[in-house]
């Protein structure tokens, strides 16, 4: 635990080795269930989002990696994925596009960029971009600015992406929306008031969206991870606190991004077509 914690704190922007940026995945070796489908992954350059990006590429998807801030992590991930392409694969496998999901114009441009890169047919949205306050303020100590920032990215950002997806994803089969909630919606721990409120909003909106998309062949589901070894999880936590959280899980450890990515990948495939309007908790029995 100590080495993982120290490594992520020293270099939080470098994708950890379990992401599988060589395009392979232990969950589905050689299986191309998303062959030539186009996916947009917001927050796709780090943490769980980077693992999802790599896993979708391993399933044959062409992926637009949405990111904010420093472009280097996104560009390195995309370069590694494209360099690992095999003969006969369409190129590129992935492109990186800067987009602040809380800005509707930037979200629209993200979808435009996906169509410019890979053609008019878009199939998958994975809305993985999110923020969490590493100070973990209680409700009484949360400033309006902290509250607004959480909602701007987690709730408004997911809404704007889902709105664009509802307008642009391919009809008649293969259309998939996967949003990100959190198992904290179930655990309701002190210090997570604003964060949990945003994720509860995402869950409710996703279920409504699934009903509104009736007849389109597009499904909408939400994935709710438990504690996962990412920079966002480690921020503000001591090594002792991390160990305590790991001890609360029946599996005896913190989750890894590649524990979550295959679940997201499955929800994006045709095999998951009968799963719609659901929240899938991926947490090792944490709650």
DSSP string, 84-152: TPPTT--S-SEEEEE--TT-HHHHHHHHHHHHHHH-S-B-EEEE------TT---GGG--HHHHHHHII
Torsion of CA 108, 113, 115, 117, to 10 degrees: -170
Radius of gyration of the chain (CA): 18
CB of 264 closer than 8 Å to CB of 223: yes
Catalytic residue among 136, 192, 195, 234: 195
286 is catalytic: no
CA distances from 266 to 90, 111, 163, 223, 243 (A): 22, 22, 22, 11, 30
Count of helix runs (H) and strand runs (E) in the chain: 11, 7
Q: What is the DSSP letter of 169?
A: B
- Residue 26 makes CB contacts below 8 A (sequence gap 6+) with 20, 258
Helices (H), 238-284: 239-248, 257-267
Phi/psi for 222 (5° steps) reads -125, 140
Work out whether the CA dihedral 162, 49, 185, 9 comes out positive or negative: negative
Return the H-helix or E-strand segment holding 194. Answer: helix 193-212
Query: Quick one: tokens of 38?
Result: 């186009």
Catalytically annotated residues: 195
């Amino acid at each position: 635990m100590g080495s993982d914690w120290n490594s992520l704190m020293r270099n939080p922007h470098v994708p950890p080795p379990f992401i599988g940026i060589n395009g392979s995945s232990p969950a589905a070796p050689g299986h191309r269930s998303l062959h030539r489908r186009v996916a947009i992954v917001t927050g796709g350059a780090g943490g769980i989002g980077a693992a999802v990006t790599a896993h979708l590429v391993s399933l044959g998807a062409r992926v637009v990696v949405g990111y904010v801030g420093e472009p280097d992590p996104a560009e390195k991930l995309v370069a590694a994925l494209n360099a690992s392409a095999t003969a006969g694969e369409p190129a590129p496998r992935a492109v990186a596009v800067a987009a602040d999901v809380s800005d509707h114009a930037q979200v629209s441009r993200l979808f435009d960029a996906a169509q410019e890169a890979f053609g008019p047919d878009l199939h998958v949205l994975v809305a993985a971009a999110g923020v969490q306050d590493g100070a973990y303020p209680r409700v009484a100590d949360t400033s309006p600015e902290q509250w607004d920032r959480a909602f701007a990215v987690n709730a408004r950002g997911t809404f704007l992406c889902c709105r664009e997806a509802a307008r642009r994803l391919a009809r008649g089969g293969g259309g998939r929306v996967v949003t990100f909630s959190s198992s904290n919606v179930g655990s309701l721990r002190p210090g997570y008031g604003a964060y949990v409120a945003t994720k509860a909003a995402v869950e409710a909106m996703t279920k409504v969206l699934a009903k509104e998309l009736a007849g389109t062949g597009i499904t909408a589901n939400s994935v709710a991870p438990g504690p996962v070894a990412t920079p966002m999880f480690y921020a503000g936590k001591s090594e002792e606190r991390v160990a305590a959280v790991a001890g609360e899980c029946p599996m005896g450890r913190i989750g890894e991004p590649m524990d979550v990515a295959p679940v997201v990948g499955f929800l994006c495939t045709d095999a998951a077509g009968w799963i719609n309007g659901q929240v899938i908790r991926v947490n090792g029995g944490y709650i």
